[in-house]
Amino acid sequence: MILLRRVIGDALRARRQGQHRTLREVSTAANVSLGYLSEIERGQKEASSELLASICDALGAQLSELLREVSDEMALAEQMEHVLVPAQGGGRDGGDTPPAAAPAATPTPTPAPVPAKAGAEPESAGQPEAALPRMARASKVAGGKITDGAVSVSIRHDTPLAAVLRTTRTVRPTPRDRDVVCVA
């Protein structure tokens, strides 16, 4: 579920930071307490229309512009809800969040192949299993993390359209190992 107050808070914070202004400057101009404005930006408090109009005036924006931006972001997030599946244990509160889709409907991502080391012999060239990269064979999803035994990746959704990917290496790389990172 997408919370309107969080999307409004994200839009207000983006406008304020885009103007390189501090919370104190905007709160003084809008005649709102610093703490309350901070809570609104973080999506913890829901602002009234009068308060939103005052904050928009302080930012030099019209309320209709802000609400149009929020509406567009909400529409996009609602379309993407079926695409993004929250990772277990990745919420802000640290509690386990069950996935939105059944595990069978969630595709298991295949990590990028690991390049062969110079001078290394192929394992069993005749067997299709051996032809697969080491990471693709060992890939599995465990507890909301994607892992191959050497590297694990967890995904945390901060806002409807923002996600944080965290990687952890469980073995020490040798000098010849190289990491390949692809970001979409």
Write out the two tokens for 152. Answer: 């694990």
Q: Are 26 and 33 in contact (CB under 8 A)?
A: no
Phi, psi of 66 (to 5 degrees): -60, -45
Output b/e per residue, 34-49; b: 16+ Cβ within 10 A. eeebbbbbebeeebee
Beta bridge partners of 156: 164
Return d(Cα 89, Cα 157) in angstroms, integer: 11
The pLDDT, as a whole number, for residue 57 is 95
pLDDT at 69: 93
pLDDT tens digit string along 50-101? 999 999 999 999 999 999 999 999 888 887 766 655 556 544 444 444 444 4
Q: Exposed, middle or buried, 173 (CB in 10 Å: 0-12/13-18/19+)?
A: exposed
Maximal C-alpha separation, the chain: 74
Find tokens 């929250």 and name the residue: 86
**CA–CA–CA angle 88, 134, 85 (5° rounding):** 20
- Prediction pTM value: 0.47
Three-state SS sequence of 37-91: HHHHHCCCCCCCHHHHHHHHHHHCCCHHHHHHHHHHHHHHHHHHCCCCCCCCCCC
> What pLDDT is stored for residue 159 in this prediction?
73
Q: Identify the pLDDT of residue 135.
A: 39
Given a cut of 50, the residues of the chain with pLDDT beneath it are: 90-143
* Beta pairing class for 151-159 and 145-147: antiparallel
The CA-CA-CA angle for residues 117, 119, 123, to 5°, reads 75
Residue 130's pLDDT is 44
In sequence order, the β-bridge partners of residue 163 are: 157
List the domains of the chain with CATH numbers: 4-80 (1.10.260.40), 86-184 (no CATH)
